[in-house]
Amino acid sequence: MVRIISALILAVTAVCASAADPLQLVDNPPDRHVVVKGDTLWGISGKFLKQPWRWPEIWQMNKEQIKDPHWIYPGDVVMLDMSSGSPRLRLGKKVRGTSTGTGKLQPTVYSTPIEQVIPSIPPGAIEPFISQPLIIEGSELNTGVKIVAMQEDRMLVGTGDSFYASGIPDASVEKWNIFRKGKPLTDPDTGKTIAYEAFFLGNARLLKPGEPALLRISLAKEEIARGDRLIAAPEPQIISYVPHRPEQPVAAKVLGIYGGLREGGANSVVALNAGKNNGMEIGHVVALYRKRVSVDVEQSGRRIETPVPEERYGLAFVFRVFNGICYALVVESSKSVIVGDSARNP
């Protein structure tokens, strides 16, 4: 699979780190960190910052550099520089770690470059959601591309089997995703259905165009049946996941936890009722809040409801955005995530 995630060490302006919200280092931070295979930029930043997602600010890079990622690799040395009076990170010479018998690394200069980019967050957490259809929006609800017949009139098919689909006019698109309409995503405030979750079934490759067209299943995650739908698979993309604050006020809510789960937690994927039309974009970091009412019963049997102050309990990282919905990875959470929780500016 093409490496989709590139670096996190990009850019919001230094203005974002206002005097009212200065960067805070962890207690006794190291003066350097030698990058090793398996590191993530979020994890590395946690060795220096109390708020790891603010890594780009400590690099003091401008917003234009978002379009030109600065990658780091195993062997790079991340150094903490306090010479200006405020914390800043910079890269030292690339080294190879050699054990000295004392548990310390003896730096030596690399003679050849290492090609494996250190990802911003664990790649496996979101890579499956990049190319798969996540939601079915209004324009896709009545799509004409669907399975109309199975190989040898079978009821269900899987990997390696063939099937026929209607609505594929020519051979311009070879690769297709197969999905089934899932549960509705309903706005908790208005009760309106915004979209339907797409239940991903697998991938198929076009063998012969026509009406119906012949396709073969290259990957089946679930059994596939007549009536299931298809959508053209997007081309692989290199996407830079840059952590940054939303520039506009965010007042969103959790619509659902992907997969139809009732609760989620760290590393869960959640849908929020804010999207492109609300100014949301890839890389936005939002804080998760819960507002609840404490319920008690007096000796008389009277029910008492006491509003409890809203509590911030986690952070989520937006990685895919649609018109009215975005999907985010929960990167930090001190409690379970439930539908109806709020997402706001961090």
| pLDDT profile of the chain (346 residues), mean per 10 | 31 36 86 85 82 75 49 82 80 57 41 53 64 65 80 84 89 87 80 81 91 91 88 66 83 86 86 91 91 73 77 91 89 90 93
- Identify whether 163 is part of a domain: yes
For residue 293, what are its two tokens?
Answer: 């009412």
Tell me which residue of 195, 158, 196 sits closest to 178, measured CA to CA.
Answer: 158
Note the pTM of the prediction, 2 decimals: 0.66
140 and 217 in a single domain? The answer is yes
- Identify whether 246 is part of a domain: no
For residue 270, what are its two tokens?
Answer: 């959640």
Query: Considering all CA atoms of the chain, what is the largest pairwise distance in Å, rounded to the nearest integer?
Result: 80
Per-residue confidence (pLDDT) for residue 15, from 0 to 100: 32
Range of the structural domain that residue 140 is part of: 128-232
* Cβ neighbours around 261 below 10 Å, total: 15
Pairing mode of beta strands 326-333, 303-321: antiparallel
54 and 147 in a single domain? The answer is no
- Identify whether 240 is part of a domain: no
28 and 136 in a single domain? The answer is no
Per-residue confidence (pLDDT) for residue 130, from 0 to 100: 64
- Identify whether 244 is part of a domain: no
Per-residue confidence (pLDDT) for residue 305, from 0 to 100: 74
The total number of structural domains that make up the chain: 3
79 and 47 in a single domain? The answer is yes
For residue 186, what are its two tokens?
Answer: 């309903």
179 and 223 in a single domain? The answer is yes
190 and 142 in a single domain? The answer is yes
- Identify whether 35 is part of a domain: yes
Per-residue confidence (pLDDT) for residue 253, from 0 to 100: 93
Tell me which residue of 182, 192, 156, 176 sits closest to 234, measured CA to CA.
Answer: 176
Tell me which residue of 92, 16, 102 sits closest to 51, measured CA to CA.
Answer: 16
1 and 114 in a single domain? The answer is yes
Per-residue confidence (pLDDT) for residue 197, from 0 to 100: 80
109 and 150 in a single domain? The answer is no
Cα separation, 204 vs 181, in Å, equals 18
CB contact set of 102 (below 8 Å; sequence gap of 6+): none
104 and 166 in a single domain? The answer is no
Per-residue confidence (pLDDT) for residue 330, from 0 to 100: 92
